[in-house]
Amino acid sequence: MTEQFIIRVEARFEAAHNLRSYKGAPEPLHGHSWKVEAKFKCNKLDHEAIGIDYVHAEKTLRELASRFDHKYINEVPPFDKLNPTSENIAKWFFDQLNVPKIKQNSELIEVLVWEGPEACVSYSK
């Protein structure tokens, strides 16, 4: 049996959005206290017994989240054209994080986007 490590980092931001189409009409503008979690799976540690550098992964995730902090998400590319659903936001974060420079010896397995403490969406490939 192969061992595995699941490494999780998160970032938070405050932002407003409204869906361009929700049940056939634009949704009213509203805000959320967002949280983004990224989960990486690692089967092999490096020479220092590290699967992924938390500092680098957290910094990258926080930099991505800062694009939206205290902003109207509908005005931040690509959501100036793409409907800013939590599903689309989760996919965007996944795509931004799913690069070798960030993943190191791991595989990005899931991104969760929370619109508050009680509702979230999970995205994976």
Say yes or no to pLDDT of 77 above 90: yes
Q: How confident is the model at residue 32 (pLDDT cuts 50, 70, 90)?
A: very high
Number of domains in the chain: 1
User: CB burial class (10 A; 0-12, 13-18, 19+) of residue 9?
Assistant: buried
Q: What is the average per-residue pLDDT within 62-81? A: 98
45 near 2, Cβ under 8 Å? no
Residue range of the domain that includes 36: 5-123
Q: What is the pTM of this model?
A: 0.93
CATH code: domain of residue 60: 3.30.479.10
Treating both helix axes as pointing N-terminal to C-terminal, what angle do 86-97 and 54-66 enclose, rounded to 10 degrees? Answer: 140
Q: Which of helix, strand or coil describes residue 87?
A: helix
Report angle CA 104, 108, 110 to the nearest 5 degrees: 160
For 2-17, the pLDDT digits (tens) are: 889 999 999 999 999 9
Residue type, 86: S
DSSP 63: H
Which parts of the chain are beta strand (E)? 5-17, 30-42, 71-72, 107-114, 120-123
